[in-house]
Chain A
Amino acid sequence: MDGHSRMVQFFKVVLPLVAILMLSTVFLLSRSIETNVTVPFTQQDIDKRLADQVVTQPNYRGTTRKGEEVQIEAIRASQGTEGAIPTAAEFRGRLGLSDGGVITLDSNSGLIRPDKNTATFVGDVVITSTDGTEITTDLLNTSLDEIRGDTPGQVNGTGIIGNFTAGRMTFGTEKKDGPVHIIFTDGVKLVYEPEKTER
């Protein structure tokens, strides 16, 4: 047996042993998978959802008799159980007028009463009228089957006409099928800053 065949005999034994050794450690080093993954909802959240059937991304879309489009959407809404009435978070509304103008409504929360055909915007309500005037108030009631609404409380507004405050605001058509008007009542106070005219 010369050196070469002795070396071959030696490797014939050692190499398979090394192979077996590597093979066995492969399974030991594999990535550990996370077994107890946490569910994204807390138990209390699940119970709440089951209790009052929370709906995500609800969207109310209707058209009035005159063909104006009333659209109200929210991030999350819960359907009212017999005690509570349906409430929604991140409330947004869009009233498309027949002449193309758009009044957008936005508020922290709100509620829709399809049975009474009304929707109420609650909390930091921002109304943007067709000419870009921004009106803010605390609460706004709107109807779902026609372009009509009113605010019980005070409103503040800014626009090209200037900054103003008013005791109350209502919007709707004055004459049947006439144009939609936004009417500020109970005392209006407005300040208009003329642009600096070059004298």
Chain B
Amino acid sequence: QETQVAFGAVKADPSLPVEVTSEKLNVNQEDGSAEFLGNVIVIQGEMRLTAERVLVIYNEDRSGIERMEATEDVVLISPPDAAEGDWAEYTIDSGVIVMKGNVLLTQGPSTITGDQMDADLTAGTATMIGNVKTILQQGQN
């Protein structure tokens, strides 16, 4: 089943510059693929995506980056919400992040877990798919 939640307070702008910092960047000279390794942090506007490995995939005419694939303890922060999962894919132009692999989304007191989360940063919404469980903390605030 599917649950739609708001994600992130401000609507992200996909044309903002993307900043990536990491320990290493490995560029394969044969197929031209590039991969950031070692606590990689991807920042665009408010959004922060951290992971151990981020692979860069270019668009067909190799004029720019189409999407980034993050693997190994991926954490996505779009204040005030945060989500973590095994794998995430961020398509820059559309501002859509797809997260897979026991995704855990924390929103204030409540946490939602599921198999996959499609977050649209520009619309500020996220859809959790696949045995979604919501744990609502009541009462303490």
Enumerate chain A interface residues (CB-CB to B < 8 A): 97, 99, 101, 103, 129-131, 133, 160-162, 164, 166, 171, 179-197, 199
Query: When chains A and B are docked, how far (Å) is the Cα of A193 from the Cα of B14?
Result: 10
Instruction: Please measure, in the bound complex, the distance between the C-alpha atom of A56 and the C-alpha atom of B42, giving whole angstroms.
Output: 50
Cβ B63 vs Cβ A160 within 8 A: yes
Beta-carbon contact of B15 and A181 below 8 Å: no
Bound-state Cα–Cα, A103 to B7, Å: 45
Chain B residues near A185: list those with CB within 8 A: 23-24
Complex: chain B residue closest to A173, CB-CB: B29
CA distance A83 to B106 in the complex (A): 68
Q: Is B34's beta carbon under 8 Å from chain A?
A: yes
A186 CB, min distance to chain B CBs, angstroms: 8
Chain B, interface size category, equals: 20 to 34
Instruction: Please report the C-alpha to C-alpha distance between residue A193 and residue B32 in the assembled complex, in whole angstroms.
Output: 19
Interface positions, chain B 19-73, Cβ under 8 Å from A, are 19-32, 34, 36, 56, 58, 62-65
Other 9 A-B pairs with CB < 8 A, given A183-B24, A186-B23, A192-B65: A129-B27, A130-B29, A130-B30, A130-B32, A161-B58, A182-B29, A184-B24, A184-B27, A190-B21
With A97-B30, A166-B25, A179-B29 in contact, do A194 and B19 touch (Cβ < 8 Å)? no
Task: Tell me if B18 and A191 are in contact (CB < 8 A).
Answer: yes
Q: Is B108 an interface residue (CB 8 A)?
A: no
Between A and B, 7 residue pairs with Cβ closer than 8 Å are A130-B30, A133-B27, A162-B20, A181-B27, A182-B29, A188-B24, A188-B36
B residues in contact with A101, CB < 8 Å: 29-30
Chain B residues within CB distance 8 Å of chain A: 14-32, 34, 36, 56, 58, 62-65, 92-93
Q: How far is the CB of A50 from chain B (nearest CB, A)?
A: 44
Q: Which 3 A-B pairs have the closest CB atoms?
A: A179-B30, A131-B32, A184-B25
